[in-house]
Amino acid sequence: MWITDTCYRDGKVEIWEKGEAGSGTHHRTADYSPPFYLHLPDPHSHWELIDALAACYMVDECTFGTVYGELEGWRIHAGRDVADAIERQTRFSARIYNADIRADQRYMAEQGLVPCARETDSRFSTDFEMPFRVMEVMVRDNPFGSGPVSCMDVIHEGRDRLEGTEKSVIAGLSDLVGSYDPDVILFPLSDLWLPRILSGARRYELDTGISRSGQFRKMHERTYMSYGRTEYRAGSLIPDGRILIDTRQSFNYRESGLSGIVLGSRLTGLCPNMAARFTSGTLISTYEVYEALQRGIAVPYRKNDPECIRRVEELKSADRGGMMFQPSPGLYEDVYQIDFTSLYPSVIVKYNLSPETLACPGRPGFLPEVLAPLLALRRETKQRKGEDPSYAGPDSLLKWMLVTCFGYTGYKNAKFGRIEVHEQITGHSRDILLASRDIAEEMGFSVLHGIVDCLFVQGKPADQLKVRIERSTALHTTLDTYDWIVFLPMPDGFGAYNRYYGRLSGGEPRVRGIMARRRDTPGYVKAMQQDLFSLMCRASRAADLTGLENEARERYERASEALCDARPDEMAIRRQVSRLDYSRRCPEASAVKACLAAGIDPVPGMEIGYVVTDSRTWEVELEWNAAGFDVAYYKKLLDKAWEEAAFAFDAAKKHGACPVQQA
């Protein structure tokens, strides 16, 4: 049996399981009222509180484990509201555990159940089945409008176009869901469309069949800060018994596909519906919670690990972030990139970094123990995806989970984090990069660039350098070979740390930080630059680039000439708005006003797609309403994309004057 969906409702855990072929989906429930744990540093001063709790709830004295060791306390069979009241009553001196864990995830961990897996499967296997019937739904109307749903495409074993009255379209969708009985529904912007479709279904007394029980769980919209950016998560309606993925808004699906969602569900104990909607940071934290529950470790309700008192000099020394070596802008040949696989989590494991090991470095740390299997899995997927592209999705999911686990150690509300651990990780990583640079230079290599977890070098033999670095650091690395690579300049003329592109030895391009890579680049501009890089990758040597310049320029000029006739939707710029009130004129401010005029309530962190119609006044139209665009403005973006590519041609022509070098 495959568990495809779980939820907690009315004191019961509800589980939907997919049986063997032809046996359909089964639903079962289990009564479950999980307790939380309470520890009082001075229990004698709170005896009245304990007596009052015992009079209303089941209260048991017990010993429970934490990452720091065992604690004496009580098991309280009550809800989170009682935990909040205890905190207020004790003036937040009480230490409470397991009070805010998702009940269905906790049940799965305690029962040894894993979503999307058979009983004999390992959660940490890279090979797993996906016995799903998948349906894709695409509505062709305006997602932010208020009119009836009149046209949608439904892809299953075939493809059906449903159009006409709203009643006939919804009835057609209901018939297709009922007859095909999908396990997974891929639905771009479903968080926007589903409320409208369900509202129409109620009006016409229809059942869409999207939820097997007819019920939907609700996730409220949320605005939050992440790495200094304002992010927004739209509200969601989650069906019972089916996996519904908003393919447009789910970061995990965009990056890793359905196979990544399934792996995330297996690792965290969350149902796929949640794994698709949560951020990478939430996935890694829920994975840690799931591991803690399986190991009998209580999870703190509110972390109470204050930062230790330190001198200013100590803070300056400790909190310096990652190490980078600035490149000299130019075109380089025969360059090797040595990349540490998931450097920061590897440092956590190697140096046994965890909150409880700061004072006792000899004891096994919780974070190293739970991250080690993820690292092993990431090394496997990264190696296997080169031969089998089906591993790219799981590899991407693991990459983002492991990337965010570092930031999570410094997050103030992290269940198993502490700022001193965060600082030690970056400290060790700086030492590792410096040591790797020294090894490279000792072996006669030229170090061109370094950024936190990778080095760009020239010289030979690179495979021996890789071996030396791995032997010295005891960390796993990968080696990529560039036939040529371009480091672009910043406006001040110095080399940019994160803007480069080049041709890998296999002939494919790799780009970072440039317009073809940016999410807010209009599709027309991005397509032109990608076309240029496909052409440029015909050149296996830097000198061959000069022979391609004329053709590249012709392609750029054709794109420039055709700009006037391009479709407005190809000019859409999608950016997140960080606020709703701006002190100066800018396209984001106009986009907010355009949303309000269209009857849409924008929220900080929301991504808005707009087309610039007048760059002098920053007038914009929302992407689905745009009838035209400011040609001069988009010509400047096209020119910028050309200049990034043309830098390589200029550098190739100045072969003697610029730092084009051969190993």
Is residue 169 within 8 A of residue 152, CB to CB? The reply is yes
Angle 441-460-384 (CA atoms, 0-180°, nearest 5)? 105
pLDDT at 386: 85
pLDDT at 64: 97
Residue 134 has pLDDT above 80, yes or no: yes
As a whole number of angstroms, the distance between CA 538 and CA 27 comes to 56
As a whole number of angstroms, the distance between CA 363 and CA 232 comes to 40
Going along the chain from its start, the domains and CATH numbers come out as 134-282 (3.30.420.10), 317-513 (3.90.1600.10)
Coil vs helix vs strand at 258: helix
pLDDT digits (tens, 9 = 90+) for 270-289: 999 999 999 898 999 999 99
pLDDT at 410: 63
Residue 661 has pLDDT above 50, yes or no: no
Closest CA to 401 of 421, 381, 426, 431: 381
As a whole number of angstroms, the distance between CA 465 and CA 453 comes to 16
As a whole number of angstroms, the distance between CA 39 and CA 62 comes to 10
Residue 202 has pLDDT above 80, yes or no: yes
The end-to-end CA distance of the chain, in Å, is 57
pLDDT at 420: 86
Beta strand 573-576 with 159-163 is unpaired
Of the ranges 306-315, 354-363, 648-657, which one carries the lowest mean pLDDT score? 306-315
Tell me whether residue 582 is exposed, middle or buried, using C-beta atoms within 10 angstroms of its C-beta: 0 to 12, 13 to 18, 19 or more.
Answer: middle
As a whole number of angstroms, the distance between CA 4 and CA 12 comes to 17
pLDDT at 660: 47
Closest CA to 5 of 22, 27, 24, 23: 27
Residue 662 has pLDDT above 60, yes or no: no
pLDDT digits (tens, 9 = 90+) for 354-394: 999 998 998 999 999 999 999 999 999 999 998 899 999 99
Q: How confident is residue 412, by pLDDT bands cut at 50, 70 and 90?
A: low
Phi, psi dihedrals of residue 441, rounded to the nearest 5°? -70, -35
pLDDT digits (tens, 9 = 90+) for 167-187: 999 999 999 999 999 999 999
Closest CA to 510 of 477, 531, 490, 485: 485
Looking at per-residue confidence, does 263 or 597 come out higher? 263
- 3-state SS of 292-320? HHHCCECCECCCCCCCCCCCHHHHHHHCC
The alpha-carbon radius of gyration of the chain (Å, integer) is 28
Q: Tell me the C-alpha to C-alpha distance, in Å, between residue 362 and each of 340, 356, 432, 456.
A: 26, 10, 22, 36
pLDDT at 416: 87
Closest CA to 239 of 162, 170, 184, 160: 184
Q: Which two tokens stand for residue 51?
A: 């007596």
- Quote the mean pLDDT of the chain: 91
Is residue 500 within 8 A of residue 486, CB to CB? The reply is yes
pLDDT at 233: 77
- pLDDT-above-70 percentage for the chain: 94
